[in-house]
Structure 1
Amino acid sequence: MIGDQSDNWIIIGVSGVTCGGKTTLANQLKNMLAPVYVFHQDKYFYPDDSPHHVKCGGLDHNNYDILSALDMESMYNDIVTTIDGEDRSHGSFRGRREGRMEIEEKSFIIVEGFTVLNYAPINEICDLRYYFVLEYEECMFRRSHRLYDPPDIEGYFEQCVWPEHLKYKAEIERDARITILDGTQHDALSIVVRDLEHLGATYI
Structure 2
Amino acid sequence: MSSSKSALIIGLGGITASGKTTMCKSLEHLFSSEKYNLHIKSLHMDDYYRSDDDPHQKYLEKFDQIDWDCLDAIDTDRFLVDLQSLRLTCDILLVEGFLIFNIPLPWKNYRLFNLAYYFDLPYEECRQRRSRRNSRSPLRHDYFEKHAWHAHIKAKKEAFEQNKDIGLEIVDTTKESFEKIQDKIIKDIETVLKHYS
Query: What's the TM-score bracket when you normalise by the shorter of the two chains?
Result: 0.7 to 0.9
TM-score by length of 2: 0.83
Aligned to 2:20: 22
User: What root-mean-square deviation, in Å, do the aligned CA atoms of Structure 1 and Structure 2 show?
Assistant: 2.0
Matches within 5 A, 1:1-204: 7-33=5-31, 34-56=38-60, 58-85=62-89, 107-121=91-105, 124-174=111-161, 175-176=163-164, 177-184=167-174, 185-186=176-177, 187-200=180-193
CA distance in 2, matches of 1:140, 1:180: 19
Greater alpha carbon shift after TM alignment, 69-78 vs 165-174: 165-174
CA distance in 2, matches of 1:200, 1:64: 36
**C-alpha displacement of 1:6:** 7.8
**C-alpha displacement of 1:28:** 0.8
CA distance in 2, matches of 1:52, 1:45: 11
| Shift in CA distance, 8/50, structure 1 to aligned 2, threshold 3 Å | closer
| Shift in CA distance, 197/133, structure 1 to aligned 2, threshold 3 Å | same
CA distance in 2, matches of 1:124, 1:6: 19
- Aligned-residue sequence identity (percent) comes to 32
SS in 1 for 2:136: coil
TM-score by length of 1: 0.80
Aligned to 2:34: none
SS in 2 for 1:31: helix
Q: Structure 1 stretches of 5 or more lacking a match?
A: 86-105
Deviations 1:45-71 (A, max 9, x none): 110111111123511010010011100
**C-alpha displacement of 1:84:** 3.8
